């Protein structure tokens, strides 16, 4: 396969050298197109040696060969890694001020961009709008990873690992990315063939511009007395990643957060809650007018029947030294099933459930997940494999995405929770594209 590897000017350019090695080792013919700024981070000899080919650095070299047109026309795949905020902006606006942007304008093959920049730049409305525009036009833009950035700061903005970029690129070429098909400018009325509006087409590609989404995250705590509670191991990382990615894709996001010790993602409204009943109330308050509700929180199914206003003591009186209290539990409401029931026949909101599952004697993870999807009646179920030291509190996770009415299952991972969030929103975008726009303009 003929691959153009565009490299723009960020510190993560050094990681593109590893990606280049993976691509060439897999037998692809790779032409590296670094921007002038990229060459300040990693020099031309490195790209030439690793690709085994001349490096295309500007439009003025080998002009007889018309490189600014030929490279894009002949490519089977263009990957830009890292894609800086500046490169995304130039590409989104169709500029052709260097060889890489010329190549992007002439390419008719799949194009994958792997952004890397500081969190503030990634979450800036200008960058979000540029990413949404690129996605609308069929460019596949990866979510950046979360973690240590150039300085001492951390957050979303890291270049995904070269292996992940390679995987995404190969899937894209295999037609597994939904962001490759649509050109909304193709029809003067702005409608896709089949009467799909640009907003719907954008949603089909994972853009959430103008949508309102509600995400619950974390784990509820059910108090026994002023110092003790029944809780669970959920860290909230997956729900926070969902909120962060939704905001980055242009959505207005309400994050109902149960006891998660995590910083608020940029641009997200966080409502803090403790118990299942509080979580239910906060989600219900946020739902009117929302396009999507994602129940990623681990909600306690039971709570102590009685709350003791003062600390429960080991002993209560003479002769009780060896006794232990019995704690009576009562059922909490099933919030997810309640949302589905309250929605009735309305198409909105689209409701996404999570299922933390382990296999057992009665069935494997997928069997249990399918039964849960049926029971809950939601539109998409994200089944986590838990146990085996995976998922809770970890940065990587493996999920299966299940829809009602089909046995088709999409498996994502092991991947970062941000990458999983991207896959969930892709799936949601597809489902939304078939539904009316509720949250717009609010």
Residues recognised as catalytic: 232
Contact region for ligand CTP (CB under 6 A) — 45-53, 88-96, 196-204, 354-362?
354-362
Q: Is 248 in the site for ligand CTP (CB under 6 A)?
A: no
Residue with tokens 């909600």: 299
Does residue 414 have a cis peptide bond before it, meaning omega lies within 30 degrees of 0? yes
3-state secondary structure of 399: strand
Q: How far is the CB of 366 from ligand CTP (least distance, A)?
A: 14
Interaction mask 306-345, ligand CTP, x per CB under 6 A: --------------------------x-xxx---------
Q: Is 354 in the site for ligand CTP (CB under 6 A)?
A: yes
| CA–CA distance, 242 with 1 (Å, rounded to integer) | 34
Q: Is 355 in the site for ligand CTP (CB under 6 A)?
A: yes
Q: In what order do the strands lie in the sheet with 77-83?
A: 29-34, 2-7, 77-83, 111-115, 140-141
DSSP structure string for 289-355 = T-SEEEE-SB--SEEESS--SSPPPS--STT-TT--PPPPEEEPP-HHHHHHHHHTT---SEEEEEE
Site for ligand CTP in 365-404 (CB under 6 A): none
Interaction mask 5-34, ligand CTP, x per CB under 6 A: ------------------------------
Which two tokens mark 45? 């000899």
Which two tokens mark 184? 């909304």
Q: Is 213 in the site for ligand CTP (CB under 6 A)?
A: no
Contacts of 274 (CB under 8 A, 6+ apart): 220, 221, 223, 258, 259
Whichever of 7 and 295 has its CB closer to ligand CTP, that residue is 295
Closest to 249 (Cα-Cα) out of 116, 144, 109: 144
Distances from the Cα of 421 to the Cα of 16, 270, 413, 428, 441, angstroms:
24, 18, 11, 10, 24
Q: How far is the CB of 233 from ligand CTP (least distance, A)?
A: 12
Q: Is 292 in the site for ligand CTP (CB under 6 A)?
A: no
Q: Is 274 in the site for ligand CTP (CB under 6 A)?
A: no
Site for ligand CTP in 41-100 (CB under 6 A): none
| CA–CA distance, 32 with 75 (Å, rounded to integer) | 12
Q: Is 432 in the site for ligand CTP (CB under 6 A)?
A: no
Site for ligand CTP in 92-151 (CB under 6 A): none
Of the candidates 156, 239, 353, 439, which one interacts with ligand CTP according to CB under 6 A?
A: 353
Instruction: Count interface residues toward ligand CTP (CB under 6 A).
Output: 13
Footprint of ligand CTP (CB under 6 A): 276, 295, 297, 299, 301, 332, 334-336, 353-356
């Amino acid at each position: 396969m003929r691959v153009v590897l565009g490299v723009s000017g960020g510190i993560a350019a050094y990681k593109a050298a590893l990606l280049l090695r993976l691509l060439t080792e897999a037998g692809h013919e790779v032409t590296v197109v670094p921007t002038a700024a990229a060459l300040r981070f990693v020099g031309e000899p490195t790209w030439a040696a690793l690709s085994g080919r001349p490096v295309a650095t500007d439009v003025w070299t080998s002009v007889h060969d018309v490189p600014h047109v030929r490279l894009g026309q002949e490519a089977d795949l263009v990957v830009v890694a890292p894609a800086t905020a500046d490169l995304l902006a130039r590409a989104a606006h169709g500029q052709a001020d260097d060889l890489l942007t010329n190549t992007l304008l002439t390419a008719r093959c799949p194009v994958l961009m792997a952004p890397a920049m500081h969190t503030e730049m990634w979450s800036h409305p200008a960058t979000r709008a540029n990413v949404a525009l690129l996605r609308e036009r069929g460019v596949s833009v990866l979510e950046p990873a979360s973690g240590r950035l150039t300085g001492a700061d951390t957050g979303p903005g890291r270049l995904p690992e070269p292996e992940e970029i390679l995987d995404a690129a190969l899937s894209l070429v295999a037609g597994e990315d939904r962001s490759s098909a649509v050109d909304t400018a193709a029809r003067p009325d702005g409608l896709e063939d089949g009467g799909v509006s640009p907003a719907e087409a954008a949603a089909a590609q994972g853009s959430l511009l103008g949508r309102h989404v509600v995400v619950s995250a974390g784990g509820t705590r059910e108090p026994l007395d002023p110092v003790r509670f029944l809780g669970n191991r959920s860290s909230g990382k997956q729900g926070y990643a969902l909120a962060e990615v939704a905001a980055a894709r242009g959505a207005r996001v309400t994050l109902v957060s149960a006891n998660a010790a995590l910083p608020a993602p940029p641009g997200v409204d966080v409502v803090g809650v403790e118990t299942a009943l509080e979580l239910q109330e906060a989600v219900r308050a946020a739902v009117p007018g929302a396009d999507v509700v994602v129940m990623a929180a681990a909600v306690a199914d039971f709570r102590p029947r009685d709350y003791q206003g003062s600390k429960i003591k080991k002993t209560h009186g003479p002769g009780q030294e060896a006794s232990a209290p019995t704690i009576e539990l009562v059922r909490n409401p099933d919030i997810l099933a309640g949302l589905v029931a309250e929605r009735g026949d309305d198409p909105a909101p689209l409701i996404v459930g999570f299922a933390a599952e382990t296999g057992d004697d009665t069935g494997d993870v997928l069997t249990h997940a399918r039964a849960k999807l049926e029971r809950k009646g939601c539109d998409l179920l994200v089944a986590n494999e838990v146990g085996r030291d995976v998922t809770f509190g970890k940065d990587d996770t493996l999920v299966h995405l299940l829809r009602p009415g089909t046995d088709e299952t999409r498996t994502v991972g092991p991947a970062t929770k941000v990458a999983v969030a991207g896959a969930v929103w892709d799936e949601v975008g597809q489902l939304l594209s078939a539904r009316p726009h509720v949250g717009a303009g609010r």
